Amino acid sequence: MTFGSRLLDAAATRGRLCVGIDPHAALLEEWGLEDSVVGLAEFSRRCVEAFADTAALVKPQVAFYERYGSAGFRVLEATLAALREAGCLTVADAKRGDIGSTMAGYADAWLGEESPLRADAVTVSPYLGVGALAPVLDLAEETGRGVFVLAATSNPEGRDLQNHRGTDGRTIAQQVVDECGRRNAIHAGPGNVGVVVGATLLDAPDLADLNGPVLMPGVGAQGGSASDIARIAAGVEHLAFPNISRAVLGAGPRIEDLRAATITAAREFPGHGIHPGKD
């Protein structure tokens, strides 16, 4: 079963919401926690309890664990394991991207069956070439895990690069989406390769032929809305998974308030009980 199909199954009962776990220093302070590994672990524990059975997908931001070194990675390993044990799908927001054996190492770290850091999916950067991502894309196919490839991000620094047009007239962002769609074409239902497309974009790539999930950050505090999701993902809206972090995490630190915020937000993005071509 592909990652895309598993994600749609989760959305059928929980809605299409992806919730981020972003334990940055300011938020730890807001929650009354110390900026330490102890505070990190408590923040993560509360998020697991609040999101594991309410969100379709949970996305720990790796950078906020990495800044504590090996101790932070141990907390991330425990967080991913707890979510996995609870039956919740995860995406490690690591944004890795390299070539050759180095990319293969990243693939093993985040998707490998024996890795303590393994997640159900990982975010990657294609700007050394989508072809350079072959080790992680191939491992995703072997394992039924997922990859979200950055295609069209909402940060202004990325627009000139991602909107640059090649000799065939397609933007770089569209070329990324199209190559991911080519990878997914072997599946009748949604495949293992998704893309990241910002929810606040006015000129987004065409997603009609992707045949995979779309992770859409920027909803909530950054200004994106349910109508933006519907506009950008028109025709494949069931594959669009909005990511909300600040608007949900701001409801903390009480677990019951985090749960309530997640459930309320998820109602704006209902899933579908039946999806075609499931494999």
Catalytic residue (choose from 24, 95, 159, 170): 95
Do 57 and 20 touch, CB atoms closer than 8 A?
no
Do 27 and 39 touch, CB atoms closer than 8 A?
no
User: Distance between CA atoms of 210 and 233, rounded to whole angstroms?
Assistant: 11
Half-sphere exposure of 185 (CA within 13 A, CB side): 9
Determine the Cα angle at 94 with ends 261 and 130, to 5°: 120
Quick one: which of 254, 153, 218 has its CA closest to 20?
218
The tokens 């608007």 sit on which residue?
247
Q: DSSP character for 116?
A: T
User: Distance between CA atoms of 265 and 19, rounded to whole angstroms?
Assistant: 10
Q: Is 278 a catalytic residue?
A: no
Active site residues: 95
